[in-house]
Amino acid sequence: MGPYVIRRLALSLPSLILVSFIIFSLLRILPGDVVMARIAESGYASPETLQRMREQLGLDRNFFVQYFDWAFHAVQGDFGRSLWTNDEVLPTLLGRMRVSAEIAVLAVLTAVTVAIPLGVVSAVKQNTRIDYAARFFSIMGLSVPDFFLATMLVLVLSKYVGWLPEFGWYSPLEHPLLNLQALIFPALIIGYRLAAVTARMTRSAMLEVMREDFVRTAHAKGLRARDVVIRHVLRNSLLPVVTIIGAQLTGLLGGLVVIEQIFSLPGLGRLTLDAVTHRDYTQVQGSVMVMATIFVMSNLAIDLTYVVLDPRIRYR
């Protein structure tokens, strides 16, 4: 398996290089730059002043010179400083990622806790009232947007209950209760959508496996129905479920912009959105590269998990 991991990592390098070049190029195609964004905040500046500011930030240099200089430092873990705040990019990213990662993990745990039992019961009780209820739950989760649920939740709690959920983010080590209060509703809202997708995938995979010959053989041997479902059907149904859970977890790290905005959470998605608004090139480039790297590593981890779930799979 060692050579397989090394080969996968080597094959991932061209993808990361391509992502870095694309995001570097797209940011410079957008109209305006960080200098213009600063002037919009402070007022008028002469063309000479604008040129001098660009020279100080290195934006007047050749495109390829800028790219290779940034890439050379990025591979060493130095993403530079924010062009907007002058803070170091990497520490800022890691701090914001901690918030997004905590929300994502809570949401996925919520989804898995609900979705897998729901998908199993829905498959076993196919075309019964339980199955219809589970499918309705899934369809609603796929149909209703996260921002609508979040807005309605805040509105109902404030207007009809007279209570608002905790906003902002608190350190789980210093304020564990406040941290849980601040993240529980975002995690439940996001987890509902993830649970809808995962439950449908679990149900479909279970129904497909239940038609296999080895399942009928297990029943013919006199094994208890519960043992057949858990030990044979569910385990062989988990490969696509694990794939979709891993993809969801990775996508959540940078895809929580609206939820983070509604609940005032200083996460990675909100940081990236603000950086794009301010044309903060280095911050956006750092955010995208970190998320791309996590995505590559997550896919590799998912592939390696297949070996645990299905011993017949071997990587060379």
Measured between alpha carbons, how far is 12 from 296 in angstroms, rounded to an integer? 7
Domain limits for position 67: 2-74
Measured between alpha carbons, how far is 252 from 305 in angstroms, rounded to an integer? 20
Cβ–Cβ under 8 Å, residues 137 and 196: yes
- Flag whether 316 is in a domain: no
**48 and 184 housed in the same domain:** no
pTM: 0.82
- Flag whether 83 is in a domain: no
**292 and 199 housed in the same domain:** yes
**188 and 260 housed in the same domain:** yes
**59 and 112 housed in the same domain:** no
Helices and strands counted in the chain (H then E): 14, 0
- Note down pLDDT in tens along the chain; length 316 residues: 667 778 777 888 888 899 999 999 988 888 877 877 777 666 666 777 778 888 888 888 888 999 999 999 998 888 988 888 888 999 998 888 888 888 888 999 999 999 999 999 999 888 899 999 999 999 998 888 888 888 888 888 777 777 767 788 888 888 888 888 888 888 999 999 899 999 999 999 999 888 888 888 888 888 888 888 888 888 888 888 888 888 887 777 766 788 888 888 888 888 888 888 888 899 999 999 988 888 888 888 887 787 777 766 666 6
Which of 17, 49, 74 is at the close of a domain? Answer: 74
For residue 63, count other CB atoms closer than 10 A to its CB: 10
**95 and 68 housed in the same domain:** no
Q: Domain holding 154: CATH number? A: 1.10.3720.10
**100 and 31 housed in the same domain:** no
**125 and 50 housed in the same domain:** no
**216 and 175 housed in the same domain:** yes
- Our count of domains for the chain comes to 2
**51 and 164 housed in the same domain:** no
Measured between alpha carbons, how far is 185 from 190 in angstroms, rounded to an integer? 9
**95 and 229 housed in the same domain:** yes
Cβ–Cβ under 8 Å, residues 146 and 259: yes
Q: What is the pLDDT of residue 129?
A: 92
**120 and 67 housed in the same domain:** no
Q: What is the pLDDT of residue 24?
A: 92
**259 and 121 housed in the same domain:** yes
